[in-house]
Structure formats: C-alpha cells, structure tokens
Amino acid sequence: MNHRTSSYLFLIILVVFSLSGRAVVAAELIELSDENRARCLEVLREGLKSDDFWPSMHAAEGLTLGGHGEEVITFLEPKLLGENDDQRRCGLARELVRAGRREYTEVLLDILASDDPHGHVHAAESLYKVVEIGDGSALRHAFAQSPNITLRVMAAAALGRCGNPEAMAFLREQLVSAEPSIARIVGWVLGRIGSSQDIPGIRRRLENSEDDLQRVFHANSLAALGDKMGLEQLERNLSSDDPGFRTYCATFAGDARATQTKPELIRLLEDPHLDARIRAAQSLLVLAATPPHDRLEDISELVFIPTEDNPRYTEGSVLDLQDGSLLFAVTEFFGSGSDFAEAHIIARQSSDGGRTWGKKRILQKNTGGLNCMSVTLRRLPSSDHSHRIALFYLQKNSHSDLDLYVKFSTDEARSFGSPILVTDDPGYHVVNNDRITRLSSGRLLAPAASTPDVTKVNHFVSRCYISDDNGLSWRKGKEAVDLPKRGAMEPEVVELTDGRVLMIMRNQLGTISKSYSADGGDTWSQPDNLGITAPEAPSTLRRIPSTGDLLLIWNNHYKPGEGHGGKRSPLNVAVSSDDGLTWKYRRTLESDPERSYSYVSLTFVGERAVLTYWVGDSSKRQWSTKFRSLPVSWFYQ
C-alpha cells in the first residue's frame, strides 16, 4: 500500500522507552562505538534544523533522550515564542517540557482548554507523552466529551497513564469495538501503559486486520509489551520498502528494548528517509542507555534518620522542581523530640524520583524564640512571576506565640525573599505541614487551629487565613469551627466539585470531623462526622488529578480510653468518588504496631503519588521521616 507520509498526526504520537508504560526489568544494553554515537548525534542535529516540522520535533526528542536537552531548549524556545499554530505549539512545548522546561506544560493545558479545537488532540497526546496532566480537570473534561473520539482516546491515554481505572477500562473496550483507525491508536497506547493482559486483544486486532499499516502498528505494540511474535515482526519490518513503516519500527525498537535490532538501526542511519534516520538514531541512543525503572515500583526510603543530637525529623513537604527533581523539606530538631525543642527547616534533593538524595541544606534557619517547624512547599504563580515557589513555616516563640510565615523564591528554591506574616493576631496558631490550599478562584487558604496559650487553655478552634493576592497579604477568616473537649484541631481543607470548601479536623471524639464553607473559607457550617473512625491524630485529604476523586490518609485505629484514642498505627488510605460522602478502595500503607505513622504530606507528580510521613519509635523517643512514591493506580487495587 502507499503510506501517506505527509500525515503526521499518528506518527508524532510514537513515544520512546523513557515514557514506556510497561514494567521494565533489568535489560541488556547495546554498545555504541564512538563513531556510531557521533553519527547518531549528527543525524539528530541535522533533523532538528530541518524545515520539515514534525521530524524536527522527533529529532528534538532523540537529542533530549541522548542527554542533550540544553541544545533542544536553546533551539526551540525562540520558535515557540514566535509560533501561532496550536498544533505546532503543542509539538514545541512538548519537546521543551521533555528537555527539562516543565513550565511549558501550561501551554499544552491552555491549548487543551481553549475554545478552538484545532490543537486539542495534539495537546492531549503531548500531555500523555510527557506524563503531565496539571490538576487533571482539562483532560477529564476531554475524556467526558463524546463527539471527538480521537480526543477522547488521547485524554484517556493521559489519564490512564496517571492511574485512572475508568480511562483504562475505556481504552480496553475501544480495542475491541472501535473502528480500525481508532483501535490502532488504542493498541499503541496499551502497548505502553497496558500489561500482558492486553496482548491477546492486540493479537486479535492484528490477525483480523486487512490493512498493512494496522498490522505494523499492532505488531509494534505487541513488541512493546515483550511479545515474541511482535518483536520478530518489528525486526522484519525494519527492512520494509515503505519508509513510514521503517520509521515506525525504528521508534518502537527503542521502546521495546529490542537490542537485537542494533545492526538494522545502524543501517537506517543512512536511510534516504529523514524521519527513519532520526528514529533509528534515537533508538540506538536509547538502547545504549540504562532502561527506565519499573513504573509500578513502590519507592520507600527513610530519608531523614534520627541521631542522638537530632532525635526528630518530622513534618515534611515535597515539591517537584522545573528540572524534574524533587525537593524534600523537613523539620530538624536538636537535643529533644519535644514540639518546643530548638529546630530549623532543612531540605534534600533527588534527581531520580526519590531513590537517592543529595546532601541536606538549610531552607529556613531558626528565627523563633523556640523553633521554626512545619513546612509547606507550594508553587504559587503571580502576575509578575509564573513559577514562584512559596515556603510556609511556623515560627514558635513561646507557648502563647506561634505564627505562620511565608517566603517566596523566584529561582527554584535556591534563595528566598523576606518573610510575610500570615497569622497576624495574637495566639498560638498551629498550621500543619503541607497544608496550604489554592482554590480554583486563585484564593489561598491557610487552615489553622488556634488557642490563646497551649499550656493554659489547650482548647483549639479551626479557621482559615485567607489571601486574595497570591500570598502577599493575609486576613483572618470570619468564623471558626469548634468541637468538644480539646476542640477542633489540625485542620485540612479541599475544594469540592460544587465550589464549596470542605474542612476536616482532628478531635477527641473518635472520628474525623468535617465542616463546609460556601464562601471560600470565611464562614463554616456546624461540624459533623466524616463517617471515618480515627484516633486523635491529623488526617490528610487531597484530590487525585487523574480521577478527580478524593484521597484520605489517616490512622484507622481508635481505642477509647487509650492516650490520644489509640496508636497512630496502622496508616491507611481510602478513596471517595462523591466528594467525601462515601469511601472505598481502603488500603494500608503501614501496619507495624511498634511504630507510629503521622503528619503526612501528599503531592502528585506525573503518574505517581508522592508522600512523606514520620515513622516514630516510642522505645527510643525518636522520629524519622519516610519518603514514599507509589503509582496512583495502587490506590485503586
């Protein structure tokens, strides 16, 4: 058949191994001679400067995967600023994100949410490729619509990769029922984010296809899943007379870790078809590099470990930086594990998803009469700087003087400006770590539990401190929530789908309490029971971007009469699809009865949920802080 090489919509959605959805085990690497490596880079640099737009983007991808992302940024950034076509803007923004400029994800999200449909499919496909979905709302909207099936499939691909089980079920249904051109895309997607359970369905599509292009696509998808027949067909098709087929297979060779194709890929470096040369060069560099980690891996590391001098590391927060690294901040205490011991805020950084960590550095020195503690890291855009980082922390001067401050950084947390006082009224204001919430309106809420004096009164009421100017100034919310006994403690807030704000609170009643605000955190309803049994301990509540569901993390252990209503073990999770009215998918994160687990932080980075929490050892009166990274799909198993 004559392949339409001028149509690049489906060609550009080919993705290489670094974004592979399948679990990758230890794999053989190929050896590239200096001559062949130099030729690969020569081909890619030639392709990057090509007037043929999409091959140029493929070359950018190959250079980034080969370790030359800075070249890509230098070359493409001026082009994006001067480009008006949304489909091309998607290609440019995507490759800039892949090269390390993650701020250009906003370009893709803006195009996807725009009224002009011209770039919608390209935006969804690009977000899928770079594993970025923002808060998920634009992609969830695209997935919910029905007129444009290609857009729905690509939105499902992005959401499914980031853990949405309904999106995965939809893709598997489409593999069976969709017309061939759509099933081809679905098979390609499942080859990367699916599993061995998808091999039979893709094989049936391959066997029943009468179109050469369909068969090539499905065979390559099987190869990406490790299927022997698919790998054999991929290798044969590298010698196809059709330049498009050679190009597709050259791309999939890297994705499938098909090291046996090295001789054919080297031969394709001299192929007369530019895109075949580019994809061969890309896959050779990919196959010579260390393969990616298993995307289903449970990463669990004690990052901050106590010592005799520093017996407590607690109340952490994690932020993903623009270069893809993770910044993990925590409170380091000196001499004692008491809340009133001397402490400051330190951080470590990881460039490999949390598997290894660099040296610690001080983010906030102790400026309090007692300590500085309980950090929250947030990226809070402003009118003058779209990628500003906020560092919130508590400054504790005495038992009756505890306040929240915020400082801002415009250089990716390398330095911070002067502190701004958030809680400007007298008293002892507890704001837990990792608690600041930004509403869809842009309003910032700092949920605080306050008392005049923690030793003399020790009864708390919860309210929000509010900023409507991106954190530059703050005011006290009009009303507070109160509860019996020690009151309403350690609040958390989340925006609901109907625009209301839900506050949950620690208490001494054996439950998690809740209250609602219909005016953005100023006034609150009478408190009620969330329907979850719990000891007197903090809980964490966030919205999962890929599904829109709420995720609750708490200690599912209540024993009346015990101190604080029971141990802070086990540590559990539950999911709600109806904004907290009911809960399902209950799982256990930690269960050692000899340890305590508390003060959780939670953020979502690509397809993973990134958590931190203290691990307490009561026998030694020491507390470490654990980093935990799980695929979002884990919460739905």
Q: Give residue-wise pLDDT tens across range 494-504.
A: 999 999 999 99
Report, as an integer, the average pLDDT of 550-570.
Answer: 93
Angle, in degrees to the nearest 10, between helices 105-113 and 86-98: 150
Chain mean pLDDT for the chain = 94
> 505 exposed, middle or buried (CB, 10 Å; 0-12, 13-18, 19+)?
buried
Among 596, 579, 585, which residue's Cα sits nearest to residue 630?
Answer: 585
Q: Are strands 299-304 and 313-320 parallel, antiparallel or unpaired?
A: unpaired
Rounded alpha-carbon distances, angstroms, from residue 393 to 112, 314, 445, 454: 36, 13, 14, 18
Among 472, 522, 532, which residue's Cα sits nearest to residue 493?
Answer: 522
602 in Cβ contact with 619 (< 8 Å): no
> 416 exposed, middle or buried (CB, 10 Å; 0-12, 13-18, 19+)?
middle
Number of H helices, E strands in the chain: 16, 25
**What is the token pair recorded at 591?**
């269960």
Whether residue 326 has pLDDT greater than 60:
yes
Confidence (pLDDT) at 618? 81
Q: Give tens-digit pLDDT for 156-183.
A: 999 999 999 999 999 999 999 999 999 9
Confidence (pLDDT) at 520? 98
Q: Give tens-digit pLDDT for 223-276.
A: 999 999 999 999 999 999 999 999 999 999 999 999 999 999 999 999 999 999
Rg, the chain, Cα only: 26
Percent of the chain with pLDDT over 90: 92
Domain ranges of the chain: 17-287
- CATH of the domain spanning 17-287, picked from 1.25.40, 1.25.50, 1.20.81, 3.30.310: 1.25.50
Helix (H, G, I), strand (E, B) or coil at 461: strand
Percent of the chain with pLDDT over 70: 96
Report, as an integer, the average pLDDT of 179-196.
Answer: 96
Confidence (pLDDT) at 619? 85
Band of residue 284 on the pLDDT scale cut at 50, 70, 90: very high
Nearest-angstrom CA–CA distance, 194 and 161 = 9
Q: Residue length, the chain?
A: 637
Confidence (pLDDT) at 502? 98
Among 124, 70, 134, which residue's Cα sits nearest to residue 94?
Answer: 124
Confidence (pLDDT) at 26? 43
**What is the token pair recorded at 435?**
């608690």
Q: Which residue's entry shows tokens 């007197």?
A: 536
Q: Are strands 427-430 and 401-409 parallel, antiparallel or unpaired?
A: parallel
Residue type for 271, please? D
Q: Give tens-digit pLDDT for 67-93.
A: 999 999 999 999 999 999 999 999 999
213 Cβ contact partners less than 8 Å away, ≥ 6 residues apart: 1, 3, 184, 244, 245
CB-side neighbour CA atoms (13 Å) of 577:
10
Confidence (pLDDT) at 27? 56
278 in Cβ contact with 285 (< 8 Å): no
**pTM of the entire predicted model:** 0.94
Report, as an integer, the average pLDDT of 15-44.
Answer: 72
Cis peptide bond prior to 545, omega within 30° of 0: no
Q: Which residue's entry shows tokens 């509010």?
A: 466
Whether residue 96 has pLDDT greater than 70:
yes
Report, as an integer, the average pLDDT of 595-610.
Answer: 98
For 285-311, give the DSSP string: HHHTSPPPPPTT--EEEEEE---SS--
Residue type for 540, please? T
Confidence (pLDDT) at 292? 85
Band of residue 305 on the pLDDT scale cut at 50, 70, 90: very high
